[in-house]
Structure 1
Amino acid sequence: MKEKICVDEDAYVEGNSDVEVDFGKVGTDKNDDYDAYDPGTDSDGANSWHSLEMKTPPNSEDELEEETESDEVFPVFREGARFGELHLEVGMKFKTKWDFKEAVREYTIQEGRRIRFNKNDRNRLRAVCKVKECGWVIFASKDRDDTCWQVKTFRDDHSCAREDKNRAANRNWVASKLVKKVRKYPNFRHCDANTFFKTKYDLSLNRNSISRALSDARNLVYGDEKAQYAMVRDYGETLLKTNPGSTVKICTIPQPNGDVIFEKMYVCLSGCKNGFKAGCRPLIGLDGAFLKTVFGGQILSAIGQDANHHIYVIAWAVVEVENTANWKWFLELLHADLGDYKTHGWCFISDMQKVHYC
């Protein structure tokens, strides 16, 4: 007994009553795949469909459900995109949670919006717009193989207005943008940084934020000044090793906990000393200048003049302050290196009366 089994208005299958019918397929072509029923695209009426198979939307936020296997190739986030060209999308993969978080930060600064992370744990991270009425949201979680983070939800539709002040532009972010500028322009100033962020990033930053970020950027380029003082003795040993016959004196102040504080340092290289004696005019200029560093201080110097009337550095010292005691200490060491000034007939010139008291 054969019967006709209706599948839809236009197709039917002929066979016995015990024959299985695949309601997910119509026709005989095994390669014909049909999408889930979509009322917006149905052309056969309200009672027809292409398939009974229910597929999970690609931006589903049900991160706890087992993910369906797919051969789809998802984009991988690449660092280094120019500001204004950063692009995020559903399915994009990130190596670490930190990479995803920083990419979201960069993207929100680029768009001029404020966000907050309302879900942040070991396996999930969700960011939403700070304006409650705005529907912008992005969500990412670890993939099932625990090898990367992947964007599962992204609604990139802001209903709020753009702002030129953004707390996402924190100290680390601002400093990272200033590193290249500081490396290229050593005298890059606060006003230059303010103009730079306003022009390129459309950001208005307060004075303290720029000052702290500039300090961090200089530390990244030139090194931490405090850490450099810990290498003063290594610096002195290197000078003595590479310039035999030189003089290096380092004075420190001991502390009860065993540490020491740098006080002053004197340097006279053998090449400078011998060169002055051999070919410079019998004239020594003495002067001091302020050091524009975090810890301040002053530098005392003894300068000669060569046959071409050019400045010739003889010796220098770094001290806390320019006073009689430090000038006396400096001149005593200079006298020991060069010899008696009366015997050689050297003349000293200084614009500071404190030197004559020594």
Structure 2
Amino acid sequence: MAHTPHYHPCDMVKDIASDYGVRVPYHQAWCGREVAVRYLHGDVRTSYDMLRWYSERVMEMNPGSIIDMVVDEETHRFKSYFLCFAACAYGYEVGCRPLIFLDGSHITDKMQGVILAASALNGNDELFTIAFAIADSETYENWK
């Protein structure tokens, strides 16, 4: 599982049938894959819960960083998390061209969402990440 992250349950069913001669239902293979992924990478919900701890450590080690976490007050569901390290903001000010590039990438796991990033070009024409956000959806409000 660790070496084959895209190992699908239908492939598991076929492999178990050919290797061991046992017919495993699809839903059982799917559940087994979920257990393996959780064992290898941890529970996704726990990762979101650790954002508060991570934010405290960032502020401890990199004072002046900007962090904003938004949670829906009614449902207590995660909405967005914005992070700009103070060191990255300083790096942009002193070593990058005055042009910011915005890009988004969709998260395709069970929790869904999007990663939004603001980057610039440094003196070597390399991308330099200034800030990023994790959000539940790609909306104008989240980009702002």
**TM-score of the pair, normalised by structure 2:** 0.85
1:203 — aligned with what?
Answer: 22
1:70 — aligned with what?
Answer: none
Amino acid aligned to 2:79: E
The equivalent position to 2:114 in structure 1, one of 277, 291, 298, is 298
Taking CA–CA contacts closer than 8 Å with sequence separation of 6 or more, which of the two structures ends up with the larger relative contact order? 2
The equivalent position to 1:282 in structure 2, one of 98, 107, 120, is 98
Instruction: Choose 231-240 or 273-282, whichever is displaced more.
Output: 273-282
- In 2, the alpha carbon distance for the partners of 1:264 and 1:299 equals 10
The equivalent position to 2:35 in structure 1, one of 208, 216, 226, is 216
Ranges of 4+ aligned residues in structure 1 off by more than 6 Å: none
**TM-score of the pair, normalised by structure 1:** 0.37
- In 2, the alpha carbon distance for the partners of 1:200 and 1:276 equals 55
1:195 positional shift: 4.5
Q: Does 1:228 align with 2:64?
A: no
The 5-angstrom pairing of residues 195-344 of structure 1 reads 195-255=14-74, 260-328=76-144
- In 2, the alpha carbon distance for the partners of 1:192 and 1:243 equals 45
2:10 touches 2:26 (CA, 8 Å); kept in 1? no
Q: Percent identity?
A: 28
2:6 — aligned with what?
Answer: 187
Kindly report the root-mean-square deviation, in angstroms, between the aligned alpha carbons of the 2 structures.
2.1
Deviations 1:71-123 (CA, angstroms, capped at 9, x unpaired):
xxxxxxxxxxxxxxxxxxxxxxxxxxxxxxxxxxxxxxxxxxxxxxxxxxxxx
Unaligned residue ranges in structure 2 (runs of 5+): none
- In 1, the alpha carbon distance for the partners of 2:121 and 2:64 equals 22
1:197 positional shift: 2.3
Change (3 A) 1:306 1:186: farther
Unaligned residue ranges in structure 1 (runs of 5+): 1-180, 329-358
The 5-angstrom pairing of residues 49-60 of structure 1 reads none
- In 1, the alpha carbon distance for the partners of 2:15 and 2:60 equals 45
- In 1, the alpha carbon distance for the partners of 2:13 and 2:66 equals 45
1:192 positional shift: 4.3
Q: How many residues in Structure 1 have an aligned counterpart in Structure 2?
A: 144
Deviations 1:126-162 (CA, angstroms, capped at 9, x unpaired):
xxxxxxxxxxxxxxxxxxxxxxxxxxxxxxxxxxxxx
Q: Please identify the structure whose Cα radius of gyration is greater.
A: 1
Q: By percentage of residues, which structure has more helix?
A: 2
Change (3 A) 1:312 1:203: farther
